[in-house]
């Protein structure tokens, strides 16, 4: 797929049309990590968010509750 760099204001950009957006899964507002290699190769990688601190705490609390007897024996 060939694309053309477009002037957008004082910057340059690559337009993600519907096909490219569908292929990559990128949506407006997504955070993207950009890596540039020697020779000009550019890799775009989506930044995936992990679970929040509240979600982790809830999972730990539920695990401790479910396995209380086993954890006591192991201690």
Domain assignment of residue 66, given as a range? 6-74
The confidence score (pLDDT) of residue 8 equals: 92
pTM over 0.85: no
The confidence score (pLDDT) of residue 48 equals: 83
Q: Domain for residue 1, yes or no?
A: no
Q: Domain for residue 26, yes or no?
A: yes
Q: What is the dihedral of CA 8, 11, 14, 16, to 10 degrees?
A: -50
Q: Domain for residue 31, yes or no?
A: yes
Kindly report, residue by residue over 27-51, the tens digit of the pLDDT: 899 999 999 999 999 999 999 888 8
Number of domains composing the chain? 1
């Amino acid at each position: 797929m060939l694309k053309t760099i477009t002037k957008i204001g004082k910057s340059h950009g690559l337009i993600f049309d519907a096909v490219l957006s569908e292929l990559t899964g990128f949506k407006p507002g997504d955070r993207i990590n950009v890596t540039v290699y020697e020779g000009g190769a550019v890799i775009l990688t989506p930044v995936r968010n992990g679970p929040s601190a509240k979600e982790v705490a809830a999972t730990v609390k539920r695990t401790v509750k479910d396995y209380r007897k086993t954890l006591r024996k192991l201690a």
